[in-house]
Amino acid sequence: MGKYQDFHKRSIENRDDFWAEQAQLVEWKEPFTQVCDYSRPPFVKWFVNGKTNLCYNAVDRHAAERPNDRALIFVSTETDEERIYTWAELQREVERMAAILQSQGVGEGDRVLIYMPMVPEAIFAMLATVRIGAIHSVVFGGFAAGSLATRIDDAKPKVMVTADAGMRNGKPVPYKHLVDEALSLAEFPPAKVVIIDRGLDKGFPRVAGRDVDYAELRAQHMDAQVPCVWVESSHPSYILYTSGTTGKPKGVQRDTGGYLVALAASMKHIYQGGKGETFFSTSDIGWVVGHSYIVYGPLIGGMATVVYEGTPLRPDPAIWWKLVEKYKVNVMFSAPTAARVLKKQDPAYMKKHDLSSLKHIYMAGEPLDEPTHEWFMSELNKPVIDNYWQTETGWPMISAVPGVEKTPIKYGSPSFPVYGYDLRIFREDGSECGPNEKGIAAVVPPMPPGCLSTVWGQDERFVSTYFSLFKEPLVYSSYDWAIKDENGYFTILGRTDDVINVAGHRLGTREIEEAVQNHKAIAEVAVVGVEDKLKGQVPIAFAVVKDAGVVATPDQVKALEKEVMGTVDGILGAIARPGRVYFVTALPKTRSGKMLRRSLQALAEGRDPGDLTTIDDPTTIENIKKMVAAG
């Protein structure tokens, strides 16, 4: 048995001893009296009676030890700004923000809604909230007013922190009118709105008595000293709403102690980041990766974190690598979508800068297909480690764990279940799958530290949503199809609702996407199942070509479509052949890079594409609509 397998086995079989050891990576004001309380399945409490503080562990203890080392590196290619904060400076700014929140009536257990672009003040607000024992709810900046209003009503925040505007592709994205509209729609609007004025929206409206200016308040609290509020381990640290919810939003509730320990352990065992090193995640704080691996994880681990406002292509496609060279980045975290965007560019951009400081790159957000995985790894000549996890889990469920054992990387696979997760693959009748048999990935509880403790204000929904896949056994369902090979490597095949039924054959859309991507002309593809009277469903592919010149004429389109179909036939057989391959200039995605497959399916079936408030570029939908209508 390998070193990692032993480590994993111990985390499942000697759970209390294992996690008590990991808990030594962080500081406790009062020790816990019980490691794991699983007396009320499926609810679990970790590090019972232990008192700690997320902000203290992320900021204060490092500021005391290394006050002048850099802690936060802010770079905006949108506004051409660069600011570096040392640990001591970060602590001062967080205490000022904490004093501002307290001056607006925020206390322990109160909620603070943060609706912000990727600027340092957003991170100060998050850290300041947990510093004073309050609970933050970050909503992705630019979310539509209606979606924002439902989240406000669910969390009932006392204060909101926002900005006049964000920036995307060199253009301001005004926030304030969205905030005002959301607050007029909300039943429980916050009493105060703290506004960071970036000078991007000159005439934004202010509401007297409600809106307060951050710069003015900061000037009043320059010397503020705000002590950390020590909270019991299961005290909520934040609420994060999962995307695509309908009706009442689903707020993932995270605890304090379990999350703190899970992140500290992940920095050591998974990401191998050390004190004084630099971590660069290309995500946004509006998503779970931003919470765990822009803000809390790197800082808890004593690493400097890069906060980046911008795209991977501006001013040119070498920008990320320029930042790696400039700030000596050691660990990077990105998304498969971003890799596929870079794949369409001249590969020379990948070679322009010195990447010798970079140890490895991690990927998460959606399945990393085999061709992209292989391409990215060979172009960068660095290990590219796929992670599989969810907003609900807060940190990886499946990953290589190089801090314990360096296992070979298998392209297209996130490797093995992470320590703490008793992750298995089940058939739809609740029995376990054998090797190379497709089933549903699920975790036998108790869930490890760091995972959601419940759905905010909806305990019943926590049980009915996540723990009702089978009557027996009780498991946490990931709602993802997966397969495990004879060597224990897992591959995620896509959501259970991304499986299509073609003439009685069940096919994962991801399997067909991988096959399409094996054609050398294709940069990116999304496959959806479309209703068919004869076969039940047929796959339809929407593909982006690397060079638009190959589909410049109708004859070229026909020829390439035939070739792509032939590629799929050769890999998966004729049963998986797409009914049509549409060649599009871009695929519709959310701002976090997730593919809007349901919208694509609706367009292919001639239906309304649904709520597009999170879409990055609305023109992609319009272009596809025209293409499908034209046949």
> Residue 141 in contact with residue 175, Cβ under 8 Å?
yes
Q: What is the DSSP pairing of strand 159-163 with strand 192-196?
A: parallel
List, for residues 214-246, the tens digit of each pLDDT value.
999 999 999 999 999 999 999 999 999 985 434
627: nearest Cα among 595, 598, 608, 600: 600
List, for residues 436-458, the tens digit of each pLDDT value.
999 999 999 999 999 999 999 99
Residue scoring higher pLDDT (555 or 507): 555
| 3-state class percentages of the chain: helix first, strand second, coil last, to nearest 5 | 35, 25, 40
CB count, 10 Å around CB of 331?
Answer: 25
> Residue 328 in contact with residue 304, Cβ under 8 Å?
no
Greatest mean pLDDT among 167-176, 508-517, 565-574 lies in 167-176
> Residue 511 in contact with residue 493, Cβ under 8 Å?
yes
Joined together, the tokens standing for residue 83 give 């600011």
Q: Exposed e or buried b for every residue in 376-410, given b needs 16+ CB within 10 A?
A: bbebbebebbbbbbbbbbbbbbbbbbbbbeebebb
Asked if pLDDT for residue 529 goes beyond 70, the answer is: yes
| Residue type, position 461, single letter | R
Q: Which of 345-354, 476-485, 527-536 has the lowest mean pLDDT?
A: 527-536
> Residue 136 in contact with residue 169, Cβ under 8 Å?
no
Tell me what the mean pLDDT of segment 262-267 comes to.
98
Residue scoring higher pLDDT (211 or 601): 211
Asked if pLDDT for residue 521 goes beyond 80, the answer is: yes
The confidence score (pLDDT) of residue 615 equals: 78
Distance CA(545)–CA(560), nearest Å, equals 10
Distance CA(224)–CA(100), nearest Å, equals 9
The confidence score (pLDDT) of residue 313 equals: 93
Asked if pLDDT for residue 499 goes beyond 80, the answer is: no
The confidence score (pLDDT) of residue 556 equals: 94
The residue behind tokens 């069940």 is: 506
| Residue type, position 260, single letter | L
Mean pLDDT of the chain: 93
Question: What are the residues whose beta carbons fall under 8 Å from the beta carbon of 594, sequence distance 6 or more?
Answer: 243, 337, 365, 366
> Residue 137 in contact with residue 223, Cβ under 8 Å?
no
CB count, 10 Å around CB of 68?
Answer: 10
Phi and psi dihedrals of 178, rounded to 5? -70, -40
Asked if pLDDT for residue 334 goes beyond 80, the answer is: yes
Distance CA(152)–CA(11), nearest Å, equals 38
Asked if pLDDT for residue 273 goes beyond 80, the answer is: yes
Asked if pLDDT for residue 411 goes beyond 80, the answer is: yes
Tell me what the mean pLDDT of segment 534-561 comes to.
90
Question: What are the residues whose beta carbons fall under 8 Å from the beta carbon of 159, sequence distance 6 or more?
Answer: 101, 104, 105, 106, 110, 112, 113, 190, 191, 192, 193, 194
Q: Which of 95-109, 327-341, 491-505 has the lowest mean pLDDT?
A: 491-505
Distance CA(234)–CA(482), nearest Å, equals 32
Over pLDDT 70: what percentage of the chain?
A: 98
Q: Which of 39-43, 141-145, 171-175, 337-341 has the lowest mean pLDDT?
A: 141-145
Tell me what the mean pLDDT of segment 402-431 comes to.
96
Distance CA(129)–CA(108), nearest Å, equals 9
List, for residues 69-124, the tens digit of each pLDDT value.
999 999 999 999 999 999 999 999 999 999 999 999 999 999 999 999 999 999 99
CB count, 10 Å around CB of 275?
Answer: 13
The confidence score (pLDDT) of residue 328 equals: 98
The confidence score (pLDDT) of residue 537 equals: 85
List, for residues 246-257, the tens digit of each pLDDT value.
457 899 999 999
Over pLDDT 90: what percentage of the chain?
A: 77
| Residue type, position 616, single letter | D
Asked if pLDDT for residue 145 goes beyond 70, the answer is: yes
The confidence score (pLDDT) of residue 136 equals: 98
The confidence score (pLDDT) of residue 575 equals: 82
Helix axis angle, 3-13 relative to 15-22, nearest 10°?
110
In the three-class reduction of DSSP (H, G, I as helix; E, B as strand; rest coil), residue 193 is classed as strand
List, for residues 55-65, the tens digit of each pLDDT value.
999 999 999 99
> Residue 527 in contact with residue 509, Cβ under 8 Å?
yes
Asked if pLDDT for residue 1 goes beyond 70, the answer is: no
Asked if pLDDT for residue 461 goes beyond 90, the answer is: yes
Q: How sure is the predictor about 572, in pLDDT bands with cuts at 50, 70 and 90?
A: confident
Q: In what order do the strands lie in the sheet with 70-76?
A: 81-86, 70-76, 304-309, 278-281, 331-334, 360-363, 384-386
Distance CA(243)–CA(593), nearest Å, equals 12
Distance CA(412)–CA(373), nearest Å, equals 6
Q: How sure is the predictor about 573, in pLDDT bands with cuts at 50, 70 and 90?
A: confident
The confidence score (pLDDT) of residue 165 equals: 96
Q: Which domains does the chain have, with CATH numbers?
A: 3-480 (3.40.50.12780), 503-630 (3.30.300.30)
Residue scoring higher pLDDT (572 or 486): 486
Contacts by 601-604 with C-beta closer than 8 Å and gap 24+?
601/528, 601/529, 601/530, 603/628, 604/528, 604/530, 604/540, 604/628
Distance CA(4)–CA(9), nearest Å, equals 8
Tell me what the mean pLDDT of segment 290-317 comes to.
97
Distance CA(245)–CA(504), nearest Å, equals 30
Q: How sure is the predictor about 589, in pLDDT bands with cuts at 50, 70 and 90?
A: confident
CB count, 10 Å around CB of 91?
Answer: 24
Q: How sure is the predictor about 619, in pLDDT bands with cuts at 50, 70 and 90?
A: confident
Tell me what the mean pLDDT of segment 149-153 comes to.
94
The confidence score (pLDDT) of residue 506 equals: 67
The confidence score (pLDDT) of residue 344 equals: 86
Distance CA(370)–CA(439), nearest Å, equals 20
* Cα–Cα distance list, 428 to 270, 455, 506 (Å): 31, 25, 13
CA angle 224, 227, 230 (to 5 degrees): 155
The confidence score (pLDDT) of residue 61 equals: 98
DSSP assignment letter at 418: P
Residue scoring higher pLDDT (260 or 601): 260
Tell me what the mean pLDDT of segment 612-631 comes to.
82
Distance CA(397)–CA(484), nearest Å, equals 14
Q: How sure is the predictor about 206, in pLDDT bands with cuts at 50, 70 and 90?
A: very high
DSSP 375-416: HHHHHHTS-EEE-B--TTTSS-SEE--TTT--PPP-TT--BE
The residue behind tokens 């019943």 is: 460
